[in-house]
């Protein structure tokens, strides 16, 4: 008798290191012969399946399977015996063992052949994955819930902002019609009141439009593809030509690397940052520089200006929706530009942050992926 076949003698197994190892294993371990008859089980097998050892030894291994898997198991077993090698069983399939009391246990099984003098045997290591599966299902459910609530929120913002425009348009249009027809026929106060109505309605319209733009970043995704960032920047600079000329601004840039992303969103991202740099300029004409540095599978972009700067305590707050640091007379705007930038960068799996010295200038940094893995 060889060593291996001796192992299978229950009396030998009852002693020594091998027994301890086998019995303390966290997985159920069984050994089956070529007829499919169970030759050995460990303690964990008893615990997992609720059988006493004596109820399993000598029985067909199919006893451990749910009824519906028993039919073709013998065939599968034989084909494994004809070409045995160490591998997981039924990779990609969901496997189940059946407890003595009938309930099923999700399991993972790995098989290895054992060659002995008395023939070929197979060891099956069976791991109970109930907890792991429950955790995975809970996580999936959570992800689905989150996805749904996000979609609902975006849908809500979209519908609200869309439907709110109708009545607003009535208010603004008729106030303007009043002004057009009856200006100077009413008194000065009346003219001023009309101005306030029109101004308020126009501002609200801008807010709603911005909200709509913001919510659409989530709901209307373009195609993610390889993007020539230099071309994106050229387009942005041409969009902003008027503001650049008006401010006598100089915009320079490095040669920029390609990245993966949604082209329209990237145009919006660069455009918002550069138009901010144009808007928040100091005494001297704006000088803006766009640079990029590759690091691993991402690019760190920077948009630096010589403008008024941002106090450090506001470095986080500026990325929130409708947050503004200046009065409407000083610098107009709804305070959505950077919130849109953050949402776009988030959606691309990157990060955005700011470094600034008050009175000296501001540099916005953001990362974008150079691979589709993002």
Partner 1 sequence: MDTIGNSGIRILLVEDNPGDVRLTREALKEAKVNNQLFVVEDGVEAMAFLRNEGEYADTPRPDLILLDLNLPKKDGREVLEEIKHDSELKRIPVVVLTTSRAEEDILKSYNLHANCYVTKPVDLDQFINIVKSIEDFWLTIVRLPSE
Among 69, 158, 270, 366, binds partner 1 (CB under 8 A): 158
Nearer to partner 1, 91 or 185 (CB): 185
Site for partner 1 contains 180 (CB under 8 A)? yes
Site for partner 1 contains 155 (CB under 8 A)? no
Backbone angles phi, psi at 184, to 5 degrees: 70, -10
| Letter string b/e over residues 295-324, b meaning 16 or more CB atoms within 10 A of that residue's CB | eeebbbbbbbbbbbbbeeeeeeebbeeeee
Site for partner 1 contains 69 (CB under 8 A)? no
Nearer to partner 1, 1 or 170 (CB): 170
Residue 294 near residue 369 (C-beta atoms within 8 A): no
Nearer to partner 1, 5 or 205 (CB): 205
Using CB atoms within 10 A of its CB, is residue 56 exposed (0-12), middle (13-18) or buried (19+)?
buried
Q: Considering the complex, what minimum distance in angstroms separates the CB of residue 219 from partner 1?
A: 9
Q: Considering the complex, what minimum distance in angstroms separates the CB of residue 173 from partner 1?
A: 5
Residue 277 near residue 236 (C-beta atoms within 8 A): no
Nearer to partner 1, 161 or 367 (CB): 161
- Taking CB under 8 A as the criterion, which residues in 198-257 touch partner 1? 201-202, 205, 209, 212, 216, 220
CB atoms within 10 A of CB 358: 11
Among 34, 133, 176, 302, binds partner 1 (CB under 8 A): 176
Backbone angles phi, psi at 30, to 5 degrees: -130, 150
Residues in the chain: 374
Nearer to partner 1, 116 or 176 (CB): 176
What is the contact surface with partner 1 in residues (CB under 8 A)? 158, 161-162, 165-166, 168-170, 172-174, 176-177, 180, 201-202, 205, 209, 212, 216, 220
């Amino acid at each position: 008798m060889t060593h291996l076949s001796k192992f299978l003698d229950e009396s030998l197994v009852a002693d020594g290191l091998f027994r301890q190892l086998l019995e303390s294993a966290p997985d159920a371990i069984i050994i089956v012969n070529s007829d499919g008859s169970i030759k050995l089980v460990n303690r964990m097998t008893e615990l997992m399946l609720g059988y006493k050892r004596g109820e399993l030894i000598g029985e067909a291994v199919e006893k451990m399977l749910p009824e519906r898997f028993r039919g073709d198991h013998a065939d599968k077993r034989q084909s494994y015996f004809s070409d045995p090698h160490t591998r997981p069983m039924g990779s990609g399939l969901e496997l189940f063992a059946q407890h003595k009391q009938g309930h099923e246990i999700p399991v993972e099984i790995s098989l290895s052949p054992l060659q002995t003098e008395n023939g070929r045997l197979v060891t099956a290591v069976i791991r109970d994955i109930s907890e792991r599966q429950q955790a995975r299902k809970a996580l999936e459910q959570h992800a689905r819930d989150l996805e749904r609530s996000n979609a609902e929120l975006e849908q809500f913002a979209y519908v609200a902002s869309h439907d709110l425009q109708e009545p607003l348009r009535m208010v603004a249009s008729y106030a303007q019609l009043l002004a057009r027809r009856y200006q100077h026929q009413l008194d000065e106060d009346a003219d001023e009141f009309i101005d306030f109505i029109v101004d308020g309605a126009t501002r609200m319209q801008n807010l709603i439009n911005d909200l709509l733009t913001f919510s659409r970043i989530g709901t209307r995704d373009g195609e993610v593809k390889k993007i020539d960032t230099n071309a994106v920047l050229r387009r942005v600079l041409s969009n902003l030509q008027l503001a650049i000329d008006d401010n006598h601004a100089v915009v320079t840039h490095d040669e920029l690397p390609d990245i993966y992303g949604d082209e329209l969103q990237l145009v919006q991202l660069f455009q918002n940052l550069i138009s901010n740099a144009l808007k928040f300029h100091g005494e001297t004409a704006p000088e803006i520089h766009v640079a990029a540095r590759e690091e691993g599978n991402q690019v760190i972009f920077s948009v630096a200006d010589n403008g008024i700067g941002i106090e450090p305590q506001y470095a986080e707050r500026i990325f929130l929706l409708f947050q503004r640091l200046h009065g409407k007379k000083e610098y107009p705007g709804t305070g959505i530009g950077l919130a849109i930038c953050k949402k776009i960068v988030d959606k691309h799996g990157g990060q955005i942050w700011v470094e600034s010295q008050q009175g000296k200038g501001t540099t916005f940094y953001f990362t974008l992926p150079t691979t589709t893995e993002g």
